[in-house]
Amino acid sequence: MRIGVLTAGGDAPGLNAAIRAIGQMAFRDGHELIGIANGWAGLAGAYAGRNLMPADIADIVGLGGTLLGTARYNLDSPPGGRDHVLAAIGEHFDALVAIGGDGTQRISHWLAERGAPVVGVPKTLDNDLLGTDYCIGFDSAVSLVAESLDRLHTTAASHHRVMVVETMGRATGWVAAMGGLAGGADLIIIPEFPLTMDEIIAHLVKRRSVGNAFSIVVIAEGINLETLGGVESGSVSSEGVGGVRLATRGVGQFLASRIDEHGGFDVRTTVLGHLQRGGSPTAYDRIWATRVGAAAYDAAIDGKFGMIPVVRGGDVELAPLITVAHGQRRVPRELYELCAVFF
Ligand code: F6P
């Protein structure tokens, strides 16, 4: 069997562990593994597949990024990209494993509906795909946020400052909330439960009045600036294609300047940015990337196309691709309320 594999959308630590799992099992069973460069771009434009050898995937379980390369690529502009991909799959593969987030899996679903032998693997460090408790890259991002907050604590305490920390999180606040919980944040602001400037200032003033000389405020980059009294200057990019890039809106810096305007606080901002996506995956990410990668391989071999392995209740299950393709899994109120116990 010729098994193709691609990684699409933003990279995330753990992608290589998933590729390795698919590849090792394919080689064990005598199948071919074809790596496609740069996601859908490697099928929509000039064909960019190449046969991978066991040596290509040896020793990559702990390697960050993706050895295949990835891209944010719009298959609908110019039109015809999807049909090109459909034809390329028919020509080159008996099965294709597409590792990616909701945008990638919407395309996988579209292809599978037209008879393409596609299986998905859930990846987004935002961890907000519907229908799965885990997406590759999340634990590594949360660990980076927690470690950063630990570091910021010592300097915040020394200078009695308010430290605003901006994390990734396009539509939801999983990275901010769980990173903030693990790193002892004194306030967490996420799209699911936005706070007004009055509420934020009141919280900082109250903390100081009860003897807390410093505060660490974590804010997700996806916050609508209008909730902080700002103005949105255009439509925000979806899948990182078109529109305003989230990070360029500078929500962390904006919040810091609003706190500064209030007066009485010495404020600094840290934008964690792509540090959250870089580097080696945590053990947790390696393990789950291996488990969902292995389950995707099994599904491909069994001809269970149009499916994606998801994590539910500590186990891997197969779900139809449509389950993860539309909408986001939001941080539930009870979890945010738990975070707020420590504010
Ligand atoms: O969707 C995952 C994500 O990491 C978001 O949290 C972030 O807004 C975006 O990707 C950044 O994308 P890019 O690497 O294209 O700037």
Residue 240 Cα to ligand 1 middle (Å) = 7
Give the pLDDT of residue 235: 76
Look-up: residue for tokens 């540090």? Answer: 275
Would you kindly state where each structural domain of the chain is located, as residue ranges?
2-137+281-325, 138-278
Phi first, then psi: give them for residue 123, nearest 5 degrees.
-140, 120
Pocket-testing residue among 7, 126, 244, ligand 1, by greatest number of atoms within 8 A of Cβ: 126
Residue 129 Cα to ligand 1 middle (Å) = 14
CA distance 26 to 235: 43
The length of the chain, given as a count of residues? 343
How crowded is the C-beta side of 317, counted as CA atoms within 13 Å?
A: 12
**Minimal-distance CA residue to ligand 1 atom 15:** 240
Give the pLDDT of residue 236: 74
Give the pLDDT of residue 73: 94
CATH number of the domain at 138-278, out of 2.40.37.10, 3.40.50.460, 1.10.260.40, 3.40.47.10? 3.40.50.460
Tokens at 184, concatenated: 């002892």
User: Are the C-beta atoms of residues 143 and 272 closer than 8 Å to each other?
Assistant: no
Beta carbons within 8 Å of 13's beta carbon, 6+ residues apart: 64, 65, 125, 136, 137, 140, 141, 277, 278, 279, 280, 281, 282, 285
Pocket-testing residue among 246, 272, 274, ligand 1, by greatest number of atoms within 8 A of Cβ: 246
β-bridge partners, 49: 36
Give the pLDDT of residue 239: 64
126 is catalytic: yes
Beta carbons within 8 Å of 159's beta carbon, 6+ residues apart: 214, 266
Give the pLDDT of residue 242: 65
Decide the pairing of beta strands 2-7 and 267-271: unpaired
Which residue out of 29, 56, 83, 126 is catalytically annotated? Answer: 126
Phi first, then psi: give them for residue 53, nearest 5 degrees.
-110, 160
CA distance 43 to 41: 5
Low-confidence ranges of the chain (pLDDT < 50): none
Looking at residue 208, its amino acid is R
Give the residues surrounding ligand 1 with Cβ less than 6 Å away. 10, 72, 124-126, 168-170, 221, 240, 246, 277
Q: Do the two domains 2-137+281-325 and 138-278 of this chain adopt the same fold?
A: yes
- Assigned CATH topology for domain 2-137+281-325: Rossmann fold (3.40.50)
CA distance 290 to 76: 32
Give the pLDDT of residue 240: 63
User: Are the C-beta atoms of residues 343 and 187 closer than 8 Å to each other?
Assistant: yes
